[in-house]
Amino acid sequence: MKVLVTGGAGFIGSHVVRRLVTNYPDYHIYNLDALTYAGNLENLRDIEKASNYTFCKVDITDVVAINDLFSKHTFDKVIHLAAESHVDRSIEDPLAFVKTNVIGTMNLLNACKETWKHNFSNKLFYHISTDEVYGSLGEDGLFTETSPYDPNSPYAASKASSDHFVRAYGETYGLPYIISNCSNNYGPNHFPEKLIPLFINNIIEMRPLPVYGDGKYTRDWLYVIDHANAIDTIIHNGEVGSTYNIGGFNEWQNIDLIRLLCKIMDGKLSRKQGTSETLITYVKDRPGHDKRYAIDASKVHKELGWKPSVTFEEGLDQTIDWYLSNPKWLEHVTSGAYKDYYTKMYLS
């Protein structure tokens, strides 16, 4: 079986690629990644020489390159993770998100449709999306697979659009697809623009911890290795044409999460308790900031038997240990352009 993973050098993608390469030696895993700022082949050093692994440096917005790749390899399954994914960046440059998340997804869908020639037996387009397409929750309730779409940021709107196109290709052309919508991921190899790796890095360097608004925004957190496990489960056992919500059953207000992070890191860095909390700095809220996300992941649990393997506290502890044990990785990804980006987003 030939499996294409798009965005396989990124945060979630690298964990998916590693799991598939390691667990399925009879499959050949192709990792497609454009190696933009968040794609990093250092994430896959441990499996890069595996006989059932091939890296392809291709941008999903390059329709000629995508069509050539599909003609050459005729993939059996596609796991589509490649995306622009940071809300702050989408506010700065929304068209970049349309280009990658919408047009890039369309290029892949068209390549699948043409390559498979309507012979869809044992073929699958698995599209990974986000809970942000559902908009913002009130104090009560959970997002389910039938929650109406109500995106509030350019990022969320671009992912909602790509979800609709995937479903449309299923209805119009019979293209076999599955969609999953996940909550906030955290864990090893996460590029430090998102909250947890950003704050881990800033605590190490004793830099301010920029907290949007009142810090009471609520998110559900999913350990990335558990997410990779869920993707593995769904691609093998999920029902074609279905949607699955994947969450960690871990709701945390940002400020409570940050205080927990500070407490754990003070202990691991042998600092006086409370030291890192002094770095908390409240900053102007970002536009269109959704107050609360929370996933109901009961469908994937009941139908496929998946559930998180760790509590949030366990996963956070393992995540911090990984960053503290991999200072060179952190140093490499936070050099150069990252410094300019950080200054623009948080210090200007």
Active site residues: 131-132, 155
In this structure, are residues 247 and 222 in contact, taking their beta carbons and an 8 Å threshold?
Answer: yes
Place of tokens 């691609």: 235
Judging by beta carbons within 10 Å of its beta carbon (0-12, 13-18, 19+), is residue 242 exposed, middle or buried?
Answer: middle
Torsion from C-alpha of 284, 290, 292, 295, nearest 10 degrees? -140
CA 205 to mean position of chain CA atoms = 26
Between the two ends of the chain, the Cα-to-Cα distance in Å is 50
Task: Give the separation between CA 230 and CA 214, rounded to whole angstroms.
Answer: 33
Spatial CB neighbours of 344, under 8 Å, sequence gap ≥ 6: none
Beta strand segments in 145-279, E: 177-182, 184-186, 209-212, 218-223, 243-246, 251-253
Closest to 179 in 3D by CA, of 192, 162, 191:
162
Other Cβ atoms within 10 Å of 216 Cβ, number = 13
